[in-house]
Structure formats: C-alpha cells, structure tokens
Amino acid sequence: MSDLEDPSKRARGVRYARELEDHLSWLDTFSGSALGVLAVASGIYTYLGVSSLLDDNGAMTAFAAIAYSVAVSVGIFVFWSYMLRLFPAVRGARARVALMGTMALGSIAIIAMSSWLNAAALAGSAAVEQHLAETVQDYQVSLERAHEVALSAQGLERDVARVRQSFEDLSEQEATGNLSGLAGRGAVFRVLRQKSSELAGLEAQIASQTPLVQSAFSEGNAILSRMRALTVEAGPVEARSVEFSEQAVRLAGLITQMRQLSVASLVERAAQDLSASVVLPELDGRSAETRGDQAATITSVLEVLSQRAQTLARAAQAVQAMPAPPETTYTPISSADAVILYARNFIPSWAGAIAIDLLPAVLVFILAITQGAIRSGREGTEVEDRLTLAELRAAVAVMKEMDSAMKAEVVVTPPTPLPTKTAAE
C-alpha cells in the first residue's frame, strides 16, 4: 500500500500541515508590524544619510530628506509585503524563478536607494576620519620625500668643499714653487685662487640654505601633528574638516618651498661654469721658458678643473634624478562618498546597513519552505480528511439548518377545482 493510500500516513500529514498552519497564523499577527518597524528604522537611517549629503539646513532641505526617507520606508514595506504573500503561494518552478529574479532586482534597488545611505549614517563620521588619516599619511610621505631630496642637495656642500680645498692646496703648492717650479703668486696661482673663491661662494650659498630646510621641515612636522590631532578630536567631523583643509594648504606650501630650496640645479650650473668661464691671466714669466712652464701648468690645471666640474655635475644630476615628492592634495569628501571609498574598512557597518533592508528576504524563504511543507503534508488527502471535529460539527449544524429551512419553505398546493357549467350551457 502506498503512502497516499495509507490512511494513517495521510492523517499524520494532515496533522503536520495543520500544526504548521497554526504557527503561521500566530506569526501573521505581528509579522506586518515587525516589517513596518524594519522599514521605519531603515527610513530613519536613510534620512540621516540624506541629510549628510545636503549642504543647506533649511526647512525645504529637511522636508526633502523626510520625503525621501518616507518613500524608502513605504517602498521597502510594500515590496517585502508583496514577496511575503506571493512568493510562498506560487507553486510552479517558472513562477518561482521569475519571482526570485524580481526579488533580486528589488533588493538591488533597495541597496541603491537606502542601504548605502544607512551605511553613511552608521559609519559616515568614521569614514571621513579615515579619509583624513589617509590624507595625513600621504602628506607625511610627501614631506619626508621633499626633506630627503633637500638634504641630499645640501650634501653637495661636502663635494663642493672637497673641490675647493683641492684648488686651495694646489694654490699653496704653487705659492711655494712645488707645482710649476716658480715660487710666488703668479698666473697659475691666480687661476687656482679664482676657482677656489668661486667654489667658496657656492659653498656659503649652500650652507645658508640648511637652516631654511630644517625650519621648513620642523614647521611641516608641527602641521602634521595638528592634522593628526584633528582626525581623532571630539566634535563634528565637518568642523574639523574645515581646519584640516586649512592646515593641508599650509603644508602643501611648505612642501613646495622645500622643493625650491634644493640647490642641486644651482650646483649643476656652477659646475658647468667652473670650467667654461676661466679668466686666464697674462703669463708673467721673465723668460720664454718660464712662460712655457706656466702655460703647461695652467693647461694641466684646466684639465683638473674640467674633471672636478664633471664630478660635481654628476653628483648634482644624481640628486635631481631622485624621485620628486608625490603630489598630494586634500579633497573634502562627504560621509556617503567616504563610506563608499573606504568600504573595505567598514564591512560590519555595510553588513548592518544591508541586513536591515534585506532581512525580510529570509522571512520570505522561511514562509516558502513552510508553505511547501504544508502542501506536502496535505498531498493526496480529500477535503473531508482535512476537516477537524469542530469543523465537522459546524458543517453538520449548517446542513441541519439548511434542511430545516428547506422543509419550512415547502408548501402543499391544493388541487385547482374544475369550472362549473351554467344552465344556459
């Protein structure tokens, strides 16, 4: 005997289905209210998110935000009410798939019009603070890079000093006669002193930049400290963002100033001029042989001068080839945009914002599963198998009342008498 033909099996299925129906009847008493609470809660957070996007705080702006949030609440309530009623009731696979596609499309629409605004309300301030913190890190990298390049350029002072010292030593050797063989301060001596004086001036100019670089770097660190403090201070983040923007402008100016303080290009130009602009003095030797020795020594000095100039130029070019500080600009951002930009850092807030809107989808599937179980329990049963004792009693009572009413309405109609003939007939 199959399950459908087994009376006890059918009876258990009917009881199972009726038990589930009783549970659903009890759940229906507050499911609508619960759905309404979820829709209203989503609307409130949507209102907060919309308010953060609007610049004006007037009555019209508040009315627009309220209207949008009310529309969102009504839309969520109506959409999930449709799904809660229709999806569990359909039986065909094609209809189920179509409704599921509709539910997915509606869920995407709800996320687009509500969930991201809910996330902005839940984590908007924290997301803006995250944006400020990221900007501080970018400015710190830029400041440190500018300082590194400036210090490397200041390090050229040692190269210039070494070259200057080498020419001064050569001039002292010429003064004692150990270079050209002629003691005194003649033509060779004057050439060497000329270049050492030029290098001494360049060295002094580089040295004068060092305090400026250090002062700019110290001031930049002080601004960075203030910007870090603004990211974690108490109070509305909008007000802190205004001061943060002002500090960012100051810091950007300091970074530009530090880039301009770099003396690498100056050293490179000086190195090129070092060998190109040599004022050759008149040879003052008393004899032709002496003047020839002086000329040969000056030629050697010019060769050494060219080598030293190339060394300085390469050192300056190496500094100029260093990567420039990255361009950093602070862009104010709204809380909603910040939540989207830094979504990976606020996954719990996004999950909560989406869950409050899409939680009814779980109820839809629960109802669909339960209705399927109810239909499975009643499968193969007749109508009379599904009636309870109370329903049977009520049905019998109704039938008796109908029978009594029908008997009361039955009236015995007397036979119609035949017509009487008259005398004339």
Top-confidence residue, 168 or 234: 234
Q: What digits encode the pLDDT tens for the residues 102-154?
A: 999 999 999 988 888 888 888 888 888 889 989 999 999 999 898 888 888 88
Angle between helices 156-175 and 264-276 (to 10 degrees): 30
Nearest-angstrom CA–CA distance, 387 and 375: 15
Q: Which domains occur in the chain, in start order?
A: 7-86+346-406 (no CATH), 127-334 (1.20.1260)
Confidence of residue 339 (pLDDT cuts 50, 70, 90): confident
Instruction: For residue 371, give both structure tokens.
Output: 């209705």
Q: What digits encode the pLDDT tens for the residues 34-72?
A: 999 999 998 898 888 888 777 666 677 788 888 989 999
Number of other residues whose CB lies within 10 A of the CB of residue 294: 23
Picking from 188, 195, 193, the residue whose alpha carbon sits closest to that of residue 297 is: 188
pTM above 0.85, yes or no: no
Nearest-angstrom CA–CA distance, 287 and 208: 46
Amino acid identity for residue 62 in this structure: A
Instruction: For residue 303, give both structure tokens.
Output: 């060769």
Confidence of residue 286 (pLDDT cuts 50, 70, 90): low
Nearest-angstrom CA–CA distance, 3 and 384: 18
Which own/partner contact pairs does 236-244 have at CB distance under 8 Å and 24+ positions apart?
A: 236/125, 237/125, 237/128, 237/129, 237/132, 237/335, 240/132, 241/128, 241/132, 241/332, 244/132, 244/135, 244/330
User: Residue 313: what pLDDT?
Assistant: 80
Residue 332 three-state SS: coil
φ, ψ at 326 (rounded to 5°)? -65, 140
> Chain centroid to CA 333: how far?
10
DSSP state of 89: T
DSSP state of 423: S
Nearest-angstrom CA–CA distance, 112 and 75: 13
End-to-end CA distance of the chain: 82
Residue 171 three-state SS: helix
